[in-house]
Structure 1
Amino acid sequence: MTTEKDILDAHSIMHGKIEIIPKVKIESNQDLSIHYTPGVATVCNAIKDNRDLAYEYTNKGNMIAVISDGTRILGLGNIGPEAGLPVMEGKSLLFKRYGGVDAIPMCIGTTDEEEIIKFAKQISPTLGGINIEDIESPKSFRIVDRLSEELDIPVLHDDQQGTAMVILAGLINSLKLAGKDLNKVKIVVNGAGSAGMGVVRLLALAKVKNVYVVDTHGIIYDGRNEGMNEFKEEIARLTNPEKDKGSLADAAKGADVLIGLSKPNVFTADIVNGMNEKPIIFALANPMPEIDYDEAKKLGAFVVATGRSDKPNQVNNLLGFPGIMRGLLDSRAKKVTYSMLYDAAVALADSVGDKLSTEYILPSVGNPNESVGVFENVAFAVAETAVKESNSRITDLDAIKSTIRKNLERNRGLHEKLSKN
């Protein structure tokens, strides 16, 4: 069993999880003259005349920043930027390991919304994209929406958009197994934070009307005053068409799908028993879910998913963000759109293939080298939608797909070499 000492030792031995290494060799004065002075001035002048050439002559097109202010780190809360750095290093590691994306952790010393936006805008010339991570909501929503409007590079909010995409993929496959139509089922989301907001926006894009969101004050409805903000007001407009009121138990009566993005042990036996036939339960609070997997199955749940790796049907946002960002970067997309995320969810759901069952609704991450096809499928879907929406700087989809494939294959080769060493 891994102990806390084992974990601390593993982080201490290499002083963190990532480093920057060169792509080219410097072994002679000629190498220096090409890659630094005086030769680099030629590259500078070319980019000065055409800024888009930064994508050709620098690493801009494969470089992102993972930005956090440390206010919403995992389940630990507001622990500050230094304490959040191990998480951002870990996220950067996963971007590289699974998607071949060079990600720099940026844990910054301000919690002021305007200062965070200003910082992201100031460093954007270096980057092909930005990932906003572990910033408290609703501040994080405002930051992402503003940056998406004001920058010409994509801004991904993985806690909101990546997680929602993976949830939708699992939901698509669960409903397929249950023989139910996404546009006809009743869906209840318990939790109105980042992931809940993302799920609502994705379902709204799919024109799913029978959706209900519950927070600590009960069912959200248009006209509610208690505990509201501009984003919960958006949720109210997009869900609960009859303006129903009440508790989680009231909302869950007759529901086909119950998605938990909240806290442990809130899905009781009475709630599960009040759902429609073949109930689908995504209990995603981590590490302790809204209801235990085995308990939910005993109560008759048709499909149960959790955020845990020791149970079937893990809903893991790792299935999403590396491929999403790979597709964004290689199409040189300007924005993240929910159409991209919807198409990526369909591609992820299709990646399960003939393995689909009530205990296998999503691909297993497993060995990164074995699951590279999953990330490729997601990246292809994102890139294809970017081109279709005229949201990309490159319009040749075949060329983009070739670049995606080469980048993933190159990344796999690099890590195979690293494993041998």
Structure 2
Amino acid sequence: MNVQSDTSFDDESTVRRTRPTTGYALSLVIAGPGIDAAQLVAAIADIGAEVRSSETVEGGLEALVACSGTAQQAEVLNVVEQLDGVDSVSSSDTTFDLHVDGKIVVSPRTALLGPDELAMAYTPGVGRVSTHIAEEPSAVWRFTGRSNAVAVLSNGTAVLGLGDIGPEAAMPVMEGKAVLFKQFAGVDAYPVCVDAPTVDDVVAVGAAIAPTFGGINLEDIKAPECFEIEERLQEMLDIPIFHDDQHGTAIVVVAALLNAAKVIGRPISELSVTIVGTGAAGVACAHLLAEIGIGDIIGVDSRGILNSSREGLHPSKQWFVDNGNKNDRSGGAREAIEGADVLIGLSGPGIIERDWVSSMADGAVVFALANPVPEIMPEFMPDNVAVVATGRSDYPNQINNVLAFPGVFRGLLDVRATNASMGVKRAAAEALAAMVTEPTAERVLPGAFEDGVADIVARSVSEQARHEGLAREIV
């Protein structure tokens, strides 16, 4: 829930208050004589919000205030309006301000200074280039932007935690993804949000647009449809198809676990992992964990542990029965967690109880990745837990896909790769883990803004793609 803002429990609820974030920030212009900035900061802090910046201006004060949700935004306005010396307060939601007119633009790489450049960039000169590509199709990689272009393809059926909200509502998320591609790896990514509700529809769209792109990043497509879409597109096309909700998460989770295993002094092959939540991310995490030789994997869905008694399972869930749960354990999440070395939560807020975690092995590792409120909050972990990670930036060890997908695509594009294989994903995870040379309980991953993350991942991905014969010859 996003209605509270500090690290304590509300007196009338057992739901933890979330911390203030600029995702719910207010921009305030406060008019009035002699407004006391210190008083403003204190009054806002008293209700759990946070002044991130303030500046005295003619006739008053301007401030940026981080809140925990829309309810606290209203509370902030009410508090500020009652401060001594305040004549009026105007406000705007900075997140909506940032999105006005969208977050991306198309910018030309070459300047058209006059008729001479126009004749080369467009007709008649451009026709010569088109003719050359028609005669030598591989020339498209050199003489167009395809070699640095990625489609961010979504039908809006599983957007963040919002569900099936449609392609139009998915656009801000896909634009944000494009910004991250460019910011972290210099990749030109294009949001492609489509009215394509079925597997066949999305596959048809992906296949149709493929000649424009060097890769396709599938995004926010619901499970289990996302598995078939990715598989069919990869079989049809000679460019990498990468569902980030699956594989970006898996790469970062595996990187974090490789280092967490060092912290607790245990080999990967001896660790038993329970995954609560066997949707897109949970399935991909399981597959990549198996690739690195994890000891055992137990999957838990909304009906309980995936075991031999469960009939009619989708193939993505049957995998857990066929490749994990070696003792054929039954029950629910509580029973699956008991005795486990590692818990990976990819489900929902607050669903894991402290005493369940207490039943895990000593030196346990817990990745509680529901966002913004994890399955169990880090401050409520029992003493047997040695390493904790979440999906949040306000705790150590943030599992953030931005550590993976920019570098993965940078590496694939650099060698014009045809596939993002399991080996490529493993190479990305191992490169990411290796960036932390001396892991600790509070540092099993590099930070998202640390220099060189995408470059290091990209080099490892390119090398692995070449090794597997997935790279195109670049002439």
Q: TM-score, normalised by structure 1?
A: 0.89
Structure 1 stretch 27-36 or stretch 117-126: which is displaced more? 27-36
Matches within 5 A, 1:169-188: 169-188=255-274
Aligned partner of 1:51 in structure 2 is 137
Deviating beyond 4 angstroms after TM superposition, the runs of 4 or more aligned structure 1 residues are: none
C-alpha separation between the residues in 1 aligned to 2:385 and 2:116? Answer: 67
1:34–1:372 CA distance, 2 compared to 1 (3 A): farther
C-alpha separation between the residues in 2 aligned to 1:323 and 1:372? Answer: 12
Equivalent pair of 2:411/2:460 in contact (CA under 8 Å): yes
Aligned partner of 1:363 in structure 2 is 446
Q: Which of residues 417, 435, 456 in structure 2 aligns to 1:377?
A: 456
- Is the partner of 2:261 in helix, strand or coil? helix
Aligned partner of 1:406 in structure 2 is none
C-alpha separation between the residues in 1 aligned to 2:263 and 2:315? Answer: 36
Q: Which of residues 221, 229, 235 in structure 2 aligns to 1:143?
A: 229
Deviation at 1:41, TM superposition (A): 1.6
Structure 1 stretch 206-215 or stretch 259-268: which is displaced more? 206-215
Q: Which of residues 401, 418, 424 in structure 2 aligns to 1:317?
A: 401
C-alpha separation between the residues in 2 aligned to 1:230 and 1:152? Answer: 25
Q: Unaligned stretches of 5+ in structure 2?
A: 1-21, 27-69, 71-92
Matches within 5 A, 1:95-110: 95-110=181-196
Larger RCO of the pair (alpha carbons < 8 Å, separation 6+):
1
C-alpha separation between the residues in 2 aligned to 1:222 and 1:150? Answer: 34
CA deviation vs aligned residue, 1:21-56 (integer Å, no higher than 9, x gap): 000010122111211111112211221122111111
Aligned partner of 1:281 in structure 2 is 366
Matches within 5 A, 1:152-171: 152-171=238-257
Structure 1 stretch 205-214 or stretch 374-383: which is displaced more? 205-214
Q: Which amino acid aligns with 2:329?
A: D
1:118–1:37 CA distance, 2 compared to 1 (3 A): same
Deviation at 1:209, TM superposition (A): 4.1
Q: Which of residues 285, 305, 309 in structure 2 aligns to 1:219?
A: 305
Identical-residue share of aligned pairs (%)? 41
Aligned partner of 1:9 in structure 2 is 97
Equivalent pair of 1:253/1:271 in contact (CA under 8 Å): yes
Structure 1 stretch 117-126 or stretch 201-210: which is displaced more? 201-210
CA deviation vs aligned residue, 1:191-214 (integer Å, no higher than 9, x gap): 101110111111222232411111
Equivalent pair of 2:271/2:295 in contact (CA under 8 Å): no
C-alpha separation between the residues in 1 aligned to 2:451 and 2:179? Answer: 16
C-alpha separation between the residues in 1 aligned to 2:220 and 2:202? Answer: 13
Larger radius of gyration: 2
CA deviation vs aligned residue, 1:85-133 (integer Å, no higher than 9, x gap): 0001000110111111101101101212101100110010011000000
Q: Are positions 1:29 and 2:112 aligned together? A: no
- Is the partner of 2:151 in helix, strand or coil? strand
Aligned partner of 2:38 in structure 1 is none
Matches within 5 A, 1:76-91: 76-91=162-177
- Is the partner of 2:397 in helix, strand or coil? coil
- Is the partner of 1:183 in helix, strand or coil? helix
Q: TM-score, normalised by structure 2?
A: 0.79
Matches within 5 A, 1:65-84: 65-84=151-170
C-alpha separation between the residues in 2 aligned to 1:268 and 1:108? Answer: 40
Q: Which of residues 169, 191, 204 in structure 1 aligns to 2:290?
A: 204
Aligned partner of 1:60 in structure 2 is 146
Matches within 5 A, 1:298-317: 298-317=382-401
Deviation at 1:242, TM superposition (A): 2.7
| Root-mean-square deviation over aligned CA pairs | 1.4
Q: Unaligned stretches of 5+ in structure 1?
A: 397-421
1:395–1:123 CA distance, 2 compared to 1 (3 A): closer
Q: Which amino acid aligns with 2:337?
A: A
Deviation at 1:138, TM superposition (A): 0.3
Aligned partner of 1:388 in structure 2 is 467
Deviation at 1:395, TM superposition (A): 7.7
Deviation at 1:394, TM superposition (A): 3.4
C-alpha separation between the residues in 2 aligned to 1:379 and 1:309? Answer: 24
- Is the partner of 2:384 in helix, strand or coil? coil
1:39–1:159 CA distance, 2 compared to 1 (3 A): same
Aligned partner of 1:347 in structure 2 is 431
- Is the partner of 1:103 in helix, strand or coil? strand
Q: Which amino acid aligns with 1:46?
A: H
Equivalent pair of 2:181/2:187 in contact (CA under 8 Å): yes
Deviation at 1:299, TM superposition (A): 3.7
Structure 1 stretch 34-43 or stretch 100-109: which is displaced more? 34-43
Q: Are positions 1:130 and 2:209 aligned together? A: no
C-alpha separation between the residues in 2 aligned to 1:43 and 1:237? Answer: 53
Q: Are positions 1:262 and 2:341 aligned together? A: no
Q: Which amino acid aligns with 1:9?
A: D
C-alpha separation between the residues in 2 aligned to 1:395 and 1:128? Answer: 13
- Is the partner of 2:270 in helix, strand or coil? coil
- Is the partner of 1:353 in helix, strand or coil? coil
Q: Which amino acid aligns with 1:104?
A: Y
- Structure that is richer in helix per residue: 1
CA deviation vs aligned residue, 1:116-173 (integer Å, no higher than 9, x gap): 1001100100110000000110001110011111100001100000110000000000
Deviation at 1:385, TM superposition (A): 0.9
